[in-house]
Amino acid sequence: MGDSVELYFDQVVHYFEAKNIDWQDENQSKRIIAMMTANFRGNAAAWCMLCRDSISDAQDLIQKLTKEFVPPDLQERLRDRLYSLKQKCCSSLEDYISRFRVAIMQVKDMSELDKTTYFIRGLVSPTKEEVQYRRRTTVSEALSVALEYDRSH
C-alpha cells in the first residue's frame, strides 16, 4: 500500500477502470475488497486480517484504512518534512526532486507559490540563486530550471 492511503486508492480506482470493473458494485464487494487487499504487507496486512469481516465495501475499506493509518496531523507533518528537506542532504538533485515530489503529492490546500517556495528553499545555493533569478512561479518551471542549471554546471 505504501505511505499514502489516498494515492493507493487512486491507483486502485485506475486499475479497476482499466479492467472495466465497477468497484462500487455492491454485488461484487467481497471480490473487490479481496483484490484491493491482496497485496497488503506488514501492518496493513495484519490490520486487514483483524478487520476483514467488518469491512462492507471499497469505500468502507478506504475510510477504515484512513482512520487506522493516517495520523490526524498528517498535513502538518508533511509541511514540516517539506520545510526540512534540503538538496544538500540528498545524493543528487534528482534524489531531492524525487523526495520533494513524494511529499508534495500528499499535501492538501497548498498554493502553487508555497509549493514553489518550499522547493526553492531546499536547493543548494548556486541552483537556488539561478531559479530565483529566473523567477519561476510554478513547481514544474522551477524543477526544469534547476535540472537545466545542474546539468550545465
Q: What is the pLDDT of residue 4?
A: 81
Block means of pLDDT (10 residues each) for the chain, length 153 residues?
79 94 93 94 94 94 94 93 97 97 92 96 96 95 97 93
Question: How many domains does the structure of the chain reveal?
Answer: 2
Same domain, 12 and 62: yes
Same domain, 112 and 143: yes
Same domain, 78 and 148: yes
Domain interval for residue 59: 5-69
Q: What is the pLDDT of residue 1?
A: 59
Q: Which of 69, 84, 103 is the last residue of a domain?
A: 69
| C-alpha of 23 from chain center | 22
The single-letter DSSP state of residue 53 is: G
Beta strands in the chain (DSSP E): none
Same domain, 134 and 116: yes
Same domain, 18 and 47: yes
Distance CA 149, CA 145 (A): 6
Q: What is the pLDDT of residue 62?
A: 94
Quick one: 28 exposed, middle or buried, by C-beta within 10 A (0-12, 13-18, 19+)? Answer: middle
Helices (H) and strands (E) in the chain, counts: 9, 0
Q: What is the pLDDT of residue 5?
A: 87
Q: What is the pLDDT of residue 75?
A: 92
- Residues with Cβ within 8 Å of residue 116, at least 6 apart in sequence: 136, 137, 138, 139, 141, 142
| Residue range 32-62, pLDDT digits in tens | 999 999 989 999 999 999 999 999 999 999 9
